[in-house]
Structure formats: structure tokens, C-alpha cells
Amino acid sequence: MNGAAAPQTMTPPARAAGMPPTFYRIGAFAISLILVALVILISGASPVTVIGSMVGGAFGTADQIGRVIATLSPLLLCAAGLVYTFNAGLYNLGVEGQITFGAIAATWALRLLHPEGATASLLPPPVAIALAIFVGGVGGIAWGLLAGALHVYGRISEIFAGLGLNFAATGIAIYLIFGPWKRPGVASLSGTQPFDESLWLGTFGKTEATPVALALGLIALLMTIVVMRNTYFGLRLRAVGRNLRAAYVLGVPARRQLLSAFLICGLFAGVAGALQVVGVFHRLIPNVSSNLGFLGLLVVMLVNFDPLWILPVALFFSALNIGSLQLPLSLGLESSLSGVIQGLLVLFALLGRGLAQVYGRKPEG
């Protein structure tokens, strides 16, 4: 009974009275909606008008739809990448730093290919852009593997390794923006000198959305769905994530799986960072990641690490983000309301899942 007995005393006695697990999930979702409505009421507006205003703000004009898509694309990349690390049992909070470092690497590549003051880039612009995105991916991999190595070989929690590297990446970006890469004459938080317009990624009409970014996001998501469902790699990743020791004893090369998860997540995040540079900001700015990595974490937690549901949830979160920008103008409310809503939804989804696990009736088996 040594040791084995202690955890059993932790299980609550309420099992007999358990409801089916879906009850807790739906219940938690309902409570989160009620709380969202309450928050809106407290801030002095009606939930219905707020929802209307947000929908209008997200999908009212082509421009707004474009912005939703411009947010969705990197979000899909990050969320897809995080599916790998989550399934490997890793909380890769370093995804933000991986975006930032990807953006730095892409900027570096573009500055090499199109030195300041030159009239044209050394390579044809499409090739240069593709190369920058590639280099961004490599930068993301480097930052991801660094966190991975610290975790796997240095036994540092991947959460702390990731958070530390986030600060480091932001620090490097700010150093570059104010130091070696500062705009001629002025150094400012608004970032480096914008690139030549020939190096901007093409957009849908006059909107901010770029087809390339959207395509990459969707490809990454599709690939992730296939990998997680149909490949030995995905199966081994899930095995390692659920029980590292047993997977290792069963012959799964556990370290390699963990590092691969960091590598792929770093790759996707790095590409997302590069796309932020070539497609959205056209320069390196200090907050180039725009918290998309953290938003990606929320998305993946909300879908319970199952990639199939990422697209609708990521779209919903992007629309919330863009739609809420309308709130200060139309209703005089804070746009940070979207963050409150996203946070509440995820918190209660996790709570519902936890309650279902603890109190839910087990399926017959």
C-alpha cells in the first residue's frame, strides 16, 4: 500500500451521483455565457447591442473581413503548432518568443536581400519573400529547439524555459529596433524602416488579408489533422504526452519525440512571425507577435488539443478580436472586452472538462 493509497483518498466521494460528462461541459459553457453577459451589463451596455456591434465590426465591410482573415492566418499556424506540443504533454508558452524570433530572422533575411538604400532586392521579390518566410521558419525552429533542449536535457520546466525565451526574443527585437536596425535618424517604438513595397506580400484587393498567409495557415492545419490522426509520428507523440515513461519502455524514442514537437511548433510559429513581417507590418516592431501565440494557446486549450475544431474556434476568436475594435467607437466600451470573453470561455471550458473528469459518470466499458 506504500504510496498507492494516498492518491486514492483524494478522489471525491460524489462519484455515485455523477452526471454524464457532457452535462458539465455544456453547463460550464452556459455559465461562461452568462458571466460574459453580466460583464457587459456591468460595463453599462446591453449584451445584444454589443454582440451586434461586434459582428458588424468583424464582418461589416470587406476591410474588416480582411482584418479578421489577417488575424486568423497566423493564429491557425500557431494553434496548429501548439497541437504538437500539447499532445506531447508540453505547455509551450514559448510560442510567443518563437513568433518573435521568426520575425527577427525574416527581417534579417530581407535586410540582407534588400540592403538599405538599394533600389531593388538582390533576388526577384517573390523569391526574396519566400526565402524570408523560410528563414523565419528556421528562426522559429531555433527558438523552439532551444526551449526543447533546456527542457529535455536541462530538466527545466518547458513553461519557464519558454517564458524566459519570450523575454529574450522581445529584448533582442527591441535592441535591434533601437540599435543596429534603427531607422535612419530616428529610433522609435514604431519599428524598423518599412521595407520596399515590392517586398510586401500581396493582399486580397485592398484589404489586409494575404492569400499566401491564409493558404499557409490552412495547409499547416490540414497537415496537423492528418499527422495527428493517421501517422505513427502522431500516435507516438500522443503516447509520449500521455505517459512518457511507459512510452519509453514500449520502445518510443521519447526525447526525439519531444524535441520534434518543439521543432514543429517552432517552425509554424516562426513562419507566422515571418508572415507578420512580410504581410502585415512590413517591418519589425517590438510587439510583432501581437499576443497571437497566447491566443493560440487559448484556442488549442478550448478545443481540447483536437485539431479538427481549430478552424471554427480560431475564426471565432479572430472575429472577436477585430469586432471588439469597433466597441470604443460605436458604444464607448473598452475593446479589451474581447480578451475577457476569450478568457472566460477558455477558463470555463477547462473547468467543465475538469469537473467532468472528476465527477462525471464513466462511460460504460
Partner 1 sequence: MHRRKARISRRTPANSSTVKVELRHIHKRFGNVHANDDVSLTVEAGTIHGLLGENGAGKSTLVKILSGFISRDSGEIVLDGRPAHIQSPADALRYGIGMLHQDPLDFPPLTAIENFMAGSPTTPALLNVRAAERNFRALCRQFNFDLDPHARVSDLTVGERQQLEIVRLLANGAGTLILDEPTTGISATQKTLLFDALRRLAQEGKSIIFVSHKLEDVEALCDCVTVMRRGRVVGELNLRANGAGRAHGDWPAGERFDVAARIVEMMFGRELAMPVKPAIHQDETALVLEGLLLRSDRLEMHIGHLAVRRGEVIGIAGLEGSGQQLFLLTCAGLEHPAAGSIYVSGRNLTRQPYSAFVKAGVCYLPADRLREGLISGLSIQEHVALRMPSRGIFINRAAAAQEAERAIATFNIRGRPDTAVEQLSGGNQQRTQLALMPSPLNVLLMEHPTRGLDIESTLWVWQQLIARCNQGTAILFASSDLDEIVQYSDRVIVFSGGRISPPIAAAALTADSLGQMIGGRF
Chain positions contacting partner 1, by CB under 8 A: 1-3, 5-6, 8-9, 230-233, 235-236, 238-239, 242-243, 245-253, 362, 365
Say which residues have a Cβ less than 8 Å from residue 247's Cβ, sequence separation at least 6. Answer: 236, 239, 240, 254, 257
Residue 341: which H helix or E strand, with range?
A: helix 337-359
Measured from the CB atom, is 182 or 238 closer to partner 1?
238
Output the CA torsion 234→236→237→240 (10° steps): 160
CB 116 to partner 1: min, Å:
44
| Three-point CA angle 331, 335, 339, nearest 5° | 135
- Positive/negative CA dihedral, 9, 13, 16, 21: negative
CB 93 to partner 1: min, Å:
23
Measured from the CB atom, is 155 or 245 closer to partner 1?
245
Q: Minimal CA–CA distance to 95: which of 150, 161, 171? A: 161
CB 88 to partner 1: min, Å:
13
CB 4 to partner 1: min, Å:
8
Contact 143, 270 (CB under 8 A): yes
Measured from the CB atom, is 252 or 285 closer to partner 1?
252
Measured from the CB atom, is 207 or 243 closer to partner 1?
243
CB 8 to partner 1: min, Å:
5
Contact 88, 241 (CB under 8 A): yes
CB 11 to partner 1: min, Å:
10
Measured from the CB atom, is 91 or 178 closer to partner 1?
91
Q: Three-state DSSP class for 332? A: coil
Q: Three-state DSSP class for 253? A: coil
Measured from the CB atom, is 117 or 365 closer to partner 1?
365
| CA distances, 277 to each of 74, 100, 350 (Å) | 11, 10, 33
Alpha-carbon distance of 2 to 7, in angstroms, equals: 11
DSSP state of 303: T
CB 252 to partner 1: min, Å:
7
Measured from the CB atom, is 13 or 180 closer to partner 1?
13
Say which residues have a Cβ less than 8 Å from residue 309's Cβ, sequence separation at least 6. Answer: 303
